[in-house]
Amino acid sequence: CFGTARSRPRPRPQPMRCAAPSCSQRLLFRRRCRVRRWSTASSEGKEACGVGEPSGFAKRKWRKGGGRPPSHSPSAPPAPSPLCSGAASSSPLILRSIDCHAGGEPARVVVEGLPDIPGETMYEKRRYCMENLDHLRRLMLEEPRGYPCQNANWIVEPCSEEASYGYVILEQGKIYPLMSGHNTMCVATALLETGMIPMESETVEFKLEAPGGLVAIRAKCDPSRGTVDEVCIEGYPSFVALEGVPVQVPELGTVDVSIAYGGMWYVIVDAKALPSGPLDLRPENGGTIARLGEMIKIAAREQHPVNHPDLDYPGPDILVFTAEAHGPAEAAGAGAGGRRRDGLGAIRRRNTVVMSNGELVWSKPETWTGMLDRSPCGTGTCAVMAHLYSKGELELNQDFIHESVVDSVFTGRLLREVEVGGFKAVVPEIAGRAWVTAYTELFLDPTDPFPSGYTVGDIWAT
């Protein structure tokens, strides 16, 4: 199912020289997928789940030959089996994934075992997943198989002729972003390092298709080791919808925020300008950052709702605190996907993104919390760059270095101006690196008492 594995000679096992899996380990994973595809499931279960035949990512013949797979009509979706709908079944569910992290934030890239996902556009596929397969998102991201900061990406057939693969992004709180930078870095790395996209040179360019549209990828690779050293992404046009609007936050007071789109809708908050005093964006302050950020975000959503002018994507759905950079000169990721270029007039800032992992209820203070993105956040970087540009603090083609709460780094720049629904927007580019952390097979036995995950209030906002 991983395309080039048959044509590529298997190298002799090499001593481990780094944390990345050796070529022989990656090839073993590919061979297992080819030989053992759904070997433990009955043919009845496979057909009912719509995975009796390899799904879009596995049909590499149509990509090698330049053709496309048969499209799936959204008017006649395959009937889901009891297993896929979360009901009882005699067959186990097996999902195979490549687990990665980019800048410290994890993501599961699921390449096998998913039911058929119909839709004529990736946006329609996203909506189908939201309405019909959210129990599988919960299965993968919630306990006992996930944890609050886990993310997932489902590799599916693309709808555009230009794309090598499509992917649907899944996050906590039933959030299905149109785009995610760190998830895209993980997807591109997983596809390249498993051979699903051939790593034929030191620079590999291709396009992926996310629910928000095509994403141009330029990856710097080391074919001799089979690794990806940097993923550069051209993001979606980013713009500021609201600048400096007041938000009344219970028990906190008035907070001035801006709301910008960078692939998701971000509430942008100056960490040093809170009524409660400056907020230091360090890991040890994570509990306070998550609590204040979630409260401000929900209050902003209630008082200043926004929607994308071209897509039905309401917000804001995420928040970013911004601050002056901490350094150090060689932060984690710099020089290894960070592309540090301070000597060329780069701007360096620090940020922490707050995401939901439950539902905030104002009458229940125990729900006033969220979780922090461990990475510098790709779409957050795009939104922050657009905000700085609107204030005249960042120029086109000026390098922007973004630190995360754990000191990992993404870099970016703004390429050109465009217009989106009457808004003055900019097209961003971001770069970073992802690392493969595991090749996994996620099982759901039909007798498992937790077929769609669960949350507990000790670490979840439940």
Longest dimension (CA), the chain: 64
Which pLDDT does position 110 carry in this prediction? 98
Mean pLDDT computed over every residue of the chain = 83
pLDDT at 28: 53
Mean pLDDT along residues 421-447: 96
> Average pLDDT, stretch 331-354?
63
pLDDT for the residue numbered 72: 33
Gap between the Cα atoms of 344 and 355, Å rounded:
33
Q: Is residue 68 pLDDT above 70, yes or no?
A: no
Read off the pLDDT of residues 12-24 as tens digits, 9 standing for 90 and up.
333 333 334 455 5
Examine the pLDDT at 244 and tell me if it is beyond 90. yes
**Virtual CA dihedral for 105, 282, 403, 279, nearest 10 degrees?**
120
**Per-residue confidence at 177, pLDDT binned at 50, 70, 90?**
very high
Pick the catalytic residue from 22, 89, 164, 180: 180
Q: Is the pLDDT of residue 251 over 70?
A: yes
Q: What is the mean pLDDT of residues 112-129?
A: 97
- pLDDT, residue 5, reads 35
pLDDT in tens, 333-342: 443 333 344 4
Question: Is 446 within 8 Å of 92 (Cβ atoms)?
Answer: yes
In this structure, what token pair is assigned to residue 64? 């090698």
Terminal CA-CA length for the chain: 38
Confidence of residue 193 (pLDDT cuts 50, 70, 90): very high
Average pLDDT over residues 257-275: 97
pLDDT tier, 50 (very low <50, low <70, confident <90, very high otherwise): very low
Q: pLDDT confidence of 461, banded at 50, 70, 90?
A: confident
Instruction: Round to whole Å and give the CA distance between 253 and 247.
Output: 8
pLDDT at position 210 is: 98
pLDDT score, position 446: 92
Instruction: Give residue 90's pLDDT.
Output: 66
For the segment 125-152, the average pLDDT, to the nearest whole number, is 96
What pLDDT does 23 receive?
52
Q: Residues 127-141: what's their mean pLDDT?
A: 97
In the chain, the percentage of residues whose pLDDT exceeds 70 is: 77
Position 462 confidence tier, pLDDT thresholds 50, 70, 90: confident
Over range 426-446, report the average pLDDT: 96
**15-24, 69-78, 416-425, 429-438: least confidently modelled range:** 69-78
46 or 427: which carries more pLDDT confidence? 427
Known active-site residue 89: no
CA atoms within 13 A on the CB side of 274: 22
Tens of pLDDT, residues 93-118 = 999 999 999 999 999 999 999 999 99
pLDDT score, position 336: 35
- Asked if the model's pLDDT at residue 351 lies above 80, the reply is yes
One-letter-per-residue 3-state SS of the chain: CCCCCCCCCCCCCCCCCCCCCCHHHHHHHHHHHHHHCCCCCCHHHHHHCCCCCCCHHHCCHHHHCCCCCCCCCCCCCCCCCCCCCCCCCCCCEEEEEEEEEECCEEEEEEEECCCCCCCCCHHHHHHHHHHHCHHHHHHHHCECCCCCCCCEEEEECCCCCCCCEEEEEEEHHHECCCCCHHHHHHHHHHHHHCCCCCCCCCEEEEEEEECCEEEEEEEEEECCCCEEEEEEEECCCEEEEEEEEEEEECCCEEEEEEEEECCCEEEEEECCCCCCCCCCCCHHHHHHHHHHHHHHHHHHHHHCCEECCCCCCEECCEEEEEEECCCCCCCECCCCCCCCCHHHCCEEEEEEEEECCCCCCCCCHHHCCCEECCCCCHHHHHHHHHHHHHCCCCCCCCCEEEECCCCEEEEEEEEEEEEECCEEEEEEEEEECEEEEEEEEEEECCCCCCCCCECCCCCCCC
Distance CA 291, CA 381 (A): 21
Q: What does the pLDDT read at residue 186? A: 98
Mean pLDDT of 360-371: 94
pTM above 0.75, yes or no: yes
Q: Of 57-61, 246-250, 263-267, 311-315, which gets the smallest average pLDDT? A: 57-61
β-pair type (400-403, 434-444) = unpaired
In this predicted structure, what is the pLDDT of residue 345?
84
- For position 17, what pLDDT does the model report? 35
Distance CA 298, CA 308 (A): 18
